[in-house]
Amino acid sequence: MKYIIVGTAGHVDHGKTTLIQNLTGIDTDRLREEKERGISIELGFAPFVLPSGRLAGVVDVPGHERFIKHMVAGVGGIDLVLLIIAANEGVMPQTLEHLHILDLLGVEKGIIVITKADLVEEEWLSLVEEDVEEAVRGTVLNGSPIKTVSAYTGEGMDELKKTIDLMTAEVAGKDTSAYSRLPIDRVFTIKGSGTVVTGTLIAGKVQNKDIVEILPDKKKARVRQIQVHGKKVEEAQAGQRVAINLAGIETDEIARGDVLSAPNFMEPTQALDGKVRLVDVSYKKEQLKALQNRARIRFHTGTTETLGRVILLDRELLNPGETAFAQFFLEEPIVAARGDLFVLRSYSPVTTIGGGKIIEPFTKKRKRFKEDVLNELKVKDQGKSSELIEQFFLESESLIHYYGDLAEVMGITEKEVEEGIKALEKEGKIIYLDFDKQKIVLLREILDKHCRRSVDILTSFHRQHPLKAGLPQEEFRMRLFRNLSPKEFSEIMEYMEKEKIIRVENQKIKLPEFNITMSAQQKKLQKHIIQEHDRNPFSPPLVQGIAEQKNLSESEVKEVCEALVEMGALVKAADGHYFSKEAVKKAQKKIEEHFENNPSLTLAEFRDMLKTSRKYALPLLGYFDEQNVTKRIGDKRVFTGKK
């Protein structure tokens, strides 16, 4: 089902609240001060049954200049605006300021309602209509229908209702598949129920008993009850005005401007990139001539207002009518998403001066007047979904991205992800890997960089260590892929090996064409070492003895012994002892034969079995303990059964 929100806008005392009362039968001025002063101070809400029988929600905003920030908070999320202008006064300063806000927040559908028609002559009404048409020219309401009414006599009210019905029928439904998101515009307590928040649900669904998160403080609460237009419901959907009774949180822990959302979905931010447009405020007594770089501003988005500074990235001054990329550094954390719209108001005097669209809600300090920075923001602002995804991959520190998470982390729709990935795939810019029943997406450009870097590292390693079979796998991961989990790293290694970029053997990473190569002297030493191990398999010479015999350094001998271990000819035991692979096999066979008739094995029995000394038997038996062939219990070994 499609849900519609209708909002009002217009100068103070132009009849907004009276008009809403006539349409809905409800007086949205609920505060005593509003009754006494005859003006709206806070946001008002009412259900509105359209002639077709469809139900819409109405948001009535205050028109007084002092309460513009309340008006901005109420306009977010509306589908159709009624710009209300009193016939006896015509277009006024707050009419124009409200019109700017509607324009900046992209409220595309609207009806211009000229109220109090009973107070003026027909001729005067024609002049007011001309004045209105001139005021809205060049704005989102240009060409919108103009309806003349009198809430007092009822003139034109039926026609207005029909027009609202027809125009709201054209409004597209909100995305209920997204994560829930509710900018909070009211917080209060109901005796016996506790904390209640209200707002327009702009995305997703909220159900009874849901656990939700209140941002920016990231406090959890439970949904105790939901009301839509005063009626209890089990579920509220995007596009509805909602009142939510929360358990586990007090009213003083929440304020207007906070956001209720699905847990762990959104994060607060204080630094944003955006595209800002300055509006013409010549109708104000104190006109803003230009927005200066580093100017202090009031930043409004959703129901949030905070102070901050604007950094213009390509100029020192932004003049009325101009648009520029900028950064905003805010004094308090807010919650926003890519594509959200914002309004800027000057710090002093307080007036609406501009607004625009959030391009990146989490940014770093950028250098000004840099072409690459401006091009990046241009892509983020106007680029196709494929360009946005490619840009995101290039900026990201991660090599891999999970397809199912892209919509959430990028703040775009699943449809945009699907279209963008398909386009990139067609251009050959991405590859897929299947991982734990999920699809991993990699940008080929980034993967190729990692592959080239891998080749460079391994080439350098082989040059420095020609007698080592390769770089230990964990060291390789920490040098190049430390941000990947072991499982993710394994998946990348499998891909790189399949593409013949690397070779993996015995937990070592090497280039596919690499083989251990020895000098003539090393080959002679290798032959001697093997001969000595064949001659005395269970009492082989130590590194020190061979070094003395051959008049070499111990490091030269050890380097060749380690190479033989890499090649699988020798096995390394404790205390610098090396044994031939064949000797280890024979020793293990003797152990297995011993345990066929004996429950345990002592070091002395093992020594006698091999006809060697304790000096050699102890490290070799320790090796079998490490390999889980035997297990030491006290002074004896038992057979584990593992080979």
Instruction: List pLDDT tens digits, range 511-568.
Output: 999 988 888 999 999 999 999 999 999 999 999 999 999 999 999 999 899 899 988 8
Q: What is the DSSP string of 74-133?
A: HHTT-SEEEEEEETTT-S-HHHHHHHHHHHHTT---EEEEEE-GGGS-HHHHHHHHHHHH
Identical fold, 181-261 and 520-639: no
| Owner of token pair 């006290």 | 634
C-alpha to C-alpha distance for 378 and 285, rounded to whole angstroms: 35
**Burial letters 182-200, b for 16+ CB under 10 A, else e:** bbbbbbeeeeeebbbbbbb
DSSP-derived secondary structure letter, 576: G
pLDDT score for 35: 37
The overall average pLDDT reported for the chain is 88
The CATH class for the domain spanning 4-169 reads alpha beta
pTM over the 0.85 mark: no
Express each pLDDT in 9-67 by its tens digit. 888 788 788 888 888 888 654 434 433 434 343 467 788 899 999 888 888 776 434 43
pLDDT value of position 107: 84
Give tens-digit pLDDT for 582-633. 999 999 999 999 999 999 999 999 999 999 999 999 999 999 999 999 999 9
Q: Which residue ranges make up each domain of the chain?
A: 4-169, 181-261, 269-373, 374-436, 520-639
Q: In CATH, which superfamily holds the domain spanning 181-261? A: Translation factors (2.40.30.10)
pLDDT of residue 59: 83
Tokens standing for residue 174: 């909100």
269-373 classified as CATH 2.60.40.10: no
Domain 520-639 has CATH 1.10.10.10: yes
- Residue 31: predicted pLDDT: 37
Query: Stretch 472-495: mean pLDDT, rounded?
Result: 92
pLDDT of residue 219: 96
**Residue 641 neighbours by CB under 8 Å, 6+ apart:** none
Q: Determine the pLDDT at residue 350.
A: 83
Torsion of CA 422, 426, 430, 434, to 10 degrees: 60
Answer whether 600's CB lies under 8 Å from 638's CB. Answer: yes
pLDDT for 9 equals 87
Q: Which two tokens stand for residue 298?
A: 């009031």
